[in-house]
Structure 1
Amino acid sequence: MLADDLRFLVESQPPLEWGRLGQHLPYEWIEYAVQATGSASVRRRRLPAQQVVWLVIALALYRHQSISEVVDELDLALPAPDASFVSKSAVAQARQRIGAAPLAWLFHESARNWVAQDQARYLFKGFSLFAMDGTTLRTADSAANRRHFGASAAAHGRIGSYPQLRAVTLTALATHLVRDAVFGPYDINEMIWARELIDRVPADSITVFDKGFLSAQLLCNLVSGGQNRHYIIPAKSNLRWEVVSGCDGDQIVRMRVSPQARAKCPDLPEFWQARAVLAVDAKGRQRTLLTSLTDRRRFRGADIVSCYERSWQIETSYHELKQSMLGMDLTLRSQTVEGVYQEFWGALIAYNLIRLEMAKAAIDAGHSPEEISFIRAFHTIQYEMTWAAVTRSYGKLPTLLKRLRERLKQLPNEKRPGRRCVRAVKSRPFRYTVRVLKRDLN
């Protein structure tokens, strides 16, 4: 009888909701994601669809542990009287059952809500600041992944060692939260993904682009397709324009839309206008920034330059996601195409969870989110979630999360006074020793 009572108490406990980090990811969202995408479990399983969603997110946080270890250490499987662990095949089948759709829905819903939470705190003259750029990530070298994603072309016609996916993201510069993302096969150009993402850029925003995204179709659609949506992008050296008004260093210019672009998009005008602002870096190098912010009184040239200089922060977010979370192992573990999509959506959710908790901790401490160390916050959250799974102290979870927030507040980035890291392209070292002849020395 005592054994039956104990078994009843264990089975009546709710599954560990480790993803309830600061209650940012409500269980209702998980429930709706699996219901809306038709992935809910019909019969009782040890790993129902809701728990598998937590598992996929956890795989990004515990990158160097096997899936079975993650399930066991985080206690994700529901208790059962006749089994003490979940087999590897059962875990793989559970992931296959839910697919990638619930994770995609959950990412878009959570990202939209999380970015909007503290948006008013980080506005720049009434606008939210975003950056859009692309990146690549290796996938497991399976036949299915290679057929679907493709690979880069190496020297002498050789194909890259690993298949790769290409992604384009829209990232909030203030908090590094990924607001939106699209990704797929490597051969699809970043401009194609960007056109899909442009339609989902929020209103009252300024988006900073790399010069590779300079396109009349892309930028005109950004401005005309929403309310108060603006851009800042560096001009290419071969771009030609006609000066409409203004003085040297700050002009309104007019550019012709190419016939090829108008053939693809007949709605484009024959000419499009932008404001051209001259920017000079610390080494005296000049570049021209094009922007749709034409109000010189509200947005000075220095404001435009300052916004563009913050665009490098999206590269920092890629480093945090790919190097810090994946531990320099840039290969996703999934062998199937659907598994790769599922895994990457889960990684984006996990990254946003860490970044959101860092933003909350920074607010409590009166700091900027950039002053909190990502890697130390990442390790702290790993430890706290493992501890919560071991103790299963549900009543103490609010205290646990409060303590986590306090620890994050004590983890500012320690930078030497006056240190300035300038981004520069480094020359690649020679793989072999260079042989110096005597006649070269004379």
Structure 2
Amino acid sequence: MFVQELELVHESVEESGSYGSVMEAIDSDWIEQSLLSANKASIRNRRLPAQQAVWLVLWMGLIRNQSIKEVCSSMDIALQSGDSTWSRVAPSVLTDCRRRLGEAPMSYLFKSTVSAWLEQALGENNALGLTTLAVDGTVFRCQDSEENANEFGFISNTHKPYPQLRLVSLISTETRMVLGAAFDGCHVGEVTLAQRLVQDTPDNSLTLFDRCYFSADLLVNWQSSGVQRHWLTPVKSKMRYEVVEEFANNDLLIDMPVSPQARKKNPELPETWRARFIAYQEPKGEIKGFVTSLIDPVQYPLDKLLNIYWQRWEIEEGYGELKQTQLQSKVTLRSKFVEGVKQELWGVLIAYNLVRLEMTAIAKEAKVAPTRISFTAAISLIDTQLRWLALSPDGKLPAKLKQMRADIKHFILPDKRKHRTYPRSVLYIPSRYPLRYKQ
């Protein structure tokens, strides 16, 4: 049984020394709790009970170059048949067990892992004494099935290649680990999804938003949902405000009116909301300045605020690692049914955090920032661990894992440039098809 193999590996690692395998990061008890919370625990004896189905979904998110059936076979996830003879698991069994599992256990497991790994995920505080976080969205494609199309819809009403799923996540810019995620059909906007992340935000933090998230309803709720939960976002070109106090040149305390539409939607919003407006003397590209809830100029000096926003690009780097390296640029999720799509995406996010957790441990040993460890090398390490876990004698595993982690240190990336020649911007990707313009 796969879980029993895990426990044997854990025992052999503990006996060999203090080195911890990446496999120890996920506690089997969390899986049991996630199944019990959703009433999904298996009662009947099955070749692929609910607990094994959870592991299958996790490895699906990590081992992208194999089919679901191959993942199940190579990781030896299914139990032996009743007569103790080996046989392959039919694809219909895999689909049925995942339908029985549903989304809820994977969502619960994601939150359990984030809670357990939170200290490592947050990393060190910034120069302001706060944890730096970032929020942004991305899109995944779903399999072209009628069920997915009805649930998730299409971004374009005229051009409908695949149903699409919109994801908004909250990450720590220090480690790029995902602290919260909300996803829905493409008809749901990013601001609406960001509202679902309010309760996932830790205290004593500063969250960096893109301009599209400039919403009184979102930002006021974000700030008031806990202790010292601050935000910072670029200035919009048509922002209305009234100056309350001038701290210094281009550093103002302002009041902004809340629109009647926002107050109608949320009557608890005030008529005005207060923030700090910081403008660049020499604008960097399209960004002219920032609006933030850090209104105390003594506790949060101007010079420390001007450069902190550019850490928001860490979430773009994180999405690049997840889509291009972990999913190998195959951003179309495998599942043809709605619950399968959702559970698969939770599995992908848990697997991504598992890789980043290992990178954080490697970075701590190497005494460098977690973002300087190669994601490609780290995911290769974990993939090798999984394969050796299924194939190698338990006694040899700890030494091999320790040697691999030592080898990863040779893949430390160079430190980032502090001053860029050109401001960062979204890469323009030309269309693959010729365009026709009206004369």
Q: TM-score, normalised by structure 1?
A: 0.88
2:196 match: secondary structure: helix
Alignment of 1:269-308 (within 5 A): 269-279=270-280, 287-308=288-309
Distance 1:13 1:30, change over 3 A: closer
SS at match of 1:129: strand
Contact 1:15 1:78 in 2 (8 A): no
Indicate if the aligned counterparts of 1:115 and 1:172 stay in contact, CA closer than 8 A. no
1:210 paired residue number? 210
Distance 1:335 1:367, change over 3 A: same
Structure 2: state its 5+ residue gaps.
Answer: 11-20
Kindly provide the CA deviation profile for residues 33-86 of structure 1, in whole angstroms up to 9, marking residues without a partner as x.
112211111122222211111110101111121111111111212234133322
Higher alpha-carbon deviation: 412-421 or 117-126: 412-421
Which of 97, 110, 118 pairs up with 1:115? 118
Alignment of 1:196 with 2:196, yes or no, is: yes
Deviations 1:210-248 (A, max 9, x none): 010001111111112211110001110000211111132
Q: CA RMSD in A?
A: 2.6
Q: In structure 2, what is the equivalent of residue 60 of structure 1?
A: 61
2:369 is aligned with what amino acid?
S
- In the alignment, the residues of structure 2 paired with residue 161 and residue 431 of structure 1 have an alpha-carbon distance, to the nearest angstrom, of 14
Question: Alpha-carbon deviation of 1:409?
Answer: 2.3
Quick check: 1:187 aligned with 2:190?
A: no
Q: SS of the counterpart of 1:14? A: helix
Residue 283 of structure 1 deviates from its aligned partner by: 5.5
Q: Determine the structure 2 residue equivalent to 1:167.
A: 167
Counterpart amino acid of 2:228? N
Is 2:118 aligned against 1:128?
no
> 1:407 and 1:168 mapped to 2: Cα distance?
34
* Counterpart residue type for residue 339 of structure 2: E
Indicate the residue corresponding to 1:331 in structure 2. 332
- Residue 112 and residue 382 in structure 1: after superposition, are their counterparts in 2 closer, same or farther (change >3 A)? same
- CA drift of 1:261 comes to 1.1
Q: Which runs of 5+ in 1 are unaligned?
A: 1-10, 435-442
Cα–Cα, structure 1 residues 84 and 261, in superposed 2: closer, same or farther, change >3 Å?
same
Between the aligned partners of 1:319 and 1:40, the Cα distance in structure 2 is 35
**1:230 alignment partner in structure 2:** 230
- Which residue identity is paired with 2:327? L
The answer to whether the 8 A contact 1:223-1:230 is kept is yes
Q: Given residue 409 of structure 2, which amino acid in structure 1 is its aligned partner?
A: K
Aligned length: 421
Answer yes or no: is the 8 Å Cα contact 2:179–2:200 preserved in 1.
no
- Structure of higher CA gyration radius: 1
Q: Which deviates more from structure 2 when the two are superposed, residues 120-129 or residues 35-44?
A: 120-129
Distance 1:159 1:320, change over 3 A: same
Q: How does 1:62-81 map to 2 (within 5 A)?
A: 62-80=63-81, 81=84
Q: 1:14 aligns to what?
A: 4
Q: 1: CA distance between counterparts of 2:389 and 2:63? A: 15
Quote the sequence identity (%).
39
TM-superposed CA distance for 1:398, in Å, is: 3.8
Gap change, CA 1:431 and 1:264, over 3 Å in 2:
closer
1:93 to 91, 96, 110: 96
Equivalent residues of 1:136, 1:166 under 8 A apart = yes
- Alpha-carbon separation, structure 1, partners of 2:303 and 2:286: 16
Larger mean CA deviation between 283-292 and 133-142 belongs to 283-292
Distance 1:13 1:199, change over 3 A: closer
TM-score when normalising by structure 2: 0.89
- Kindly indicate whether the alpha-carbon contact (under 8 Å) linking 2:152 and 2:186 is maintained by their aligned counterparts in 1: yes
Give the Å deviation of 1:22: 4.8
* 35 and 399 in structure 1: CA distance in 2 versus 1, 3 angstrom threshold: farther
2:30 partner amino acid:
W
Q: Are the structure 2 counterparts of residues 432 and 258 from structure 1 closer, same or farther at C-alpha, using a change threshold of 3 Å?
A: closer
Structure 1 residue 352 displacement after superposition: 0.2
What CA distance in whole angstroms lies between the structure 2 residues aligned with 1:373 and 1:138?
26
Residue 118 (structure 1) shift:
5.8
Contact kept, 8 Å, 2:233 with 2:290, in 1: the verdict is yes
Shift of 1:397: 4.2
What's the offset of the Cα at 1:144? 0.4
Displacement of 1:326 after TM fit? Answer: 1.1
| Counterpart AA for 2:425 | A
- Measured after TM superposition, the shift of residue 15 of structure 1 is 4.1
Alpha-carbon spacing, 1:124–1:51, altered in 2? closer, same or farther (3 Å) = farther
Contact 2:121 2:172 in 1 (8 A): no
How far off its partner does 1:432 sit?
7.6
1:396 CA drift (Å) = 4.3
1:199 aligned counterpart, secondary structure: helix
CA contact (8 A) 2:120 2:357 kept: no
In the alignment, the residues of structure 2 paired with residue 12 and residue 267 of structure 1 have an alpha-carbon distance, to the nearest angstrom, of 51
* 1:149 CA displacement: 0.1
**Contact 1:21 / 1:401 at 8 angstroms: preserved in 2?**
no
